């Protein structure tokens, strides 16, 4: 706020006459007017100062503009749906009237998926920007909105979704998406316009990242890619090739925003017990990898992966933790990998897999409170061979390898 150093007061008028020794005259009309205008000017200045201090932290840019972030939207099971979610089927189960593993069909490259407090899920389509609500009892999916300003060049688009930890109070969703100029994190109420949380994440034709996860303390972990330039992953001045840890306004949690570095393309971040964090990362040295994230580690160097997935079985697109195992969705591998991990971050047994070749390219994997896995297919991404009812969202019980003590 600019200071007034001249003989004028804040209202831009000459100052009122000073009161001298013992002089206490009744104010004349001109003095009253001067005092009134000065007071009004001071109040206006104070109001502007408070408005600046009370900013909600957003710097809208691109196609985004702030809107009020109101009460939680009207989401939940439609009136005709059963009150109790359907039990997910075992792998390969069949049932008259359709595949019981499938909870939604007819989607276009569903990529982001996050669970709502009522047990349903919000799903984002990478290429269209549509967000739909999908129900575990196999009720028809409900379109909620289309996120504007999404640029789908290369492997960009609407990539990640997360539900606010205080969704019951604020009704906010968070998304990681590509625009024409950058990758960014935004937040919005359903049917509202997005507000920017973090902008300026480098954008490329490949390796645009997209992992989003709220930690137990309310921090938001953001997985980014190197945008096709590996040097950015180790550049401390760049947000590319990192896992970032930010607050809900985009500010750092800790010394800076960078939690880990040296990544190629973090498409998913998942959490186990005691805040253990894992990330699915793109190929390094010819093999995709699962990393256990340790704050400050550089994964281009000495910080080694938990496991590498060989070419042909890779294309990791999602991760989820259940029990002592991490589940990884594989696009090229068309399966879900099951990786048992011990307390030291090493593989503790034989790797398993399931759904191999059954539903085509598998991307996002999210675990729900009932111990089921929500999985998206990605057969309409221009690489897969779609069936007539693709793409799908699955909800399925994992194999027995997930039993035992949690990670």
Does 68 score more than 90 pLDDT?
A: no
Q: Which of 9-13, 142-146, 273-277, 367-371 has the lowest mean pLDDT?
A: 9-13
- Output the six-digit token pair for 139: 């009720």
Residue-level pLDDT at 221 = 98
**Nearby residues of 186 by Cβ (< 8 Å), 6 or more positions away:** 64, 147, 174, 175, 177, 194, 195, 196, 197
Q: How confident is the model at residue 56 (pLDDT cuts 50, 70, 90)?
A: very low
DSSP category for residue 401: G
- Output the six-digit token pair for 273: 């017990």
> What tens digit of pLDDT does each residue of 30-55 get?
444 444 444 444 433 333 332 333 33
Residue-level pLDDT at 42 = 43
Range 126-143 average pLDDT: 97
Percent pLDDT > 90 in the chain is: 69
- Please tell me the distance from the alpha carbon of residue 204 to that of residue 235, in angstroms, as a whole number: 16
- Please tell me the distance from the alpha carbon of residue 233 to that of residue 239, in angstroms, as a whole number: 8
Residue-level pLDDT at 16 = 37
More confident residue, 58 or 346: 346
Across 21-25, 28-32, 90-94, 158-162, which has the greatest mean pLDDT? 158-162
Does 75 score more than 80 pLDDT?
A: no
Do residues 122 and 144 lie in contact, with contact meaning Cβ atoms separated by under 8 Å?
A: yes
Phi, psi of 273 (to 5 degrees): -65, 155
- Count other Cβ atoms within 10 Å, centred on residue 34: 19
> What tens digit of pLDDT does each residue of 262-308 get?
999 999 999 998 889 999 999 877 889 999 999 999 999 888 899 99
């Amino acid at each position: 706020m600019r200071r007034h150093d001249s003989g004028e007061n804040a209202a831009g008028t000459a100052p009122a006459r000073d009161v001298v020794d013992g002089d206490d005259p009744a104010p004349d009309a001109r003095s009253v007017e001067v005092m009134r205008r000065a007071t009004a000017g001071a109040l206006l200045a104070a109001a502007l100062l408070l408005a600046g201090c009370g900013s909600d932290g957003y710097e809208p840019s691109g196609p985004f503009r702030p809107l009020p972030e109101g009460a939680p939207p009207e989401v939940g099971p439609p009136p005709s749906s059963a009150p109790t979610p359907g039990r997910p089927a075992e792998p390969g189960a069949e049932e008259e009237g359709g595949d019981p593993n499938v909870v939604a069909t007819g989607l276009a490259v569903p990529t982001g998926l996050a669970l709502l407090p009522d047990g349903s899920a919000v799903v984002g389509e990478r290429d269209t920007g549509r967000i739909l609500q999908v129900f575990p009892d196999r009720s028809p999916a409900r379109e909620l909105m289309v996120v504007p300003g999404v640029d789908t060049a290369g492997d960009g688009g609407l990539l990640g979704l997360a539900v606010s930890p205080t969704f019951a109070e604020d009704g906010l969703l968070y998304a990681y998406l590509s625009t024409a100029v950058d990758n960014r994190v935004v937040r919005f109420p359903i049917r509202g316009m997005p507000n920017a949380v973090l902008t300026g994440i480098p954008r490329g034709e490949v390796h645009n990242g997209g992992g989003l996860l709220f930690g137990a303390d309310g921090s938001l972990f953001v997985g980014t890619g190197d945008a096709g330039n590996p040097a950015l992953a180790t550049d401390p001045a760049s947000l590319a090739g990192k896992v970032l840890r930010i607050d809900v306004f985009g500010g750092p949690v800790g010394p800076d925003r960078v939690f880990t570095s040296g990544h190629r393309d973090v498409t998913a971040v998942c959490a186990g017990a005691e805040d253990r964090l894992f990330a699915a990362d793109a190929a390094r040295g010819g093999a995709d990898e699962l990393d256990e994230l340790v704050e400050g580690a550089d994964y281009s160097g000495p910080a080694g992966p938990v496991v590498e997935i060989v070419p042909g079985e890779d294309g990791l697109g999602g991760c989820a933790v259940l029990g002592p195992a991490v589940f990884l969705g594989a696009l090229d591998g068309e399966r879900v990998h099951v990786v048992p991990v011990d307390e030291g971050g090493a593989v503790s047994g034989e790797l398993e897999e399931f759904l191999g070749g059954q539903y085509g390219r598998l991307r996002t994997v999210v675990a729900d409170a009932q111990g089921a896995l929500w999985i998206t297919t990605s057969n309409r991404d221009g690489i897969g061979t779609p069936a007539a009812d693709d793409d799908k969202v699955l909800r399925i019980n994992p194999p027995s390898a997930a039993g035992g003590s949690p990670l």
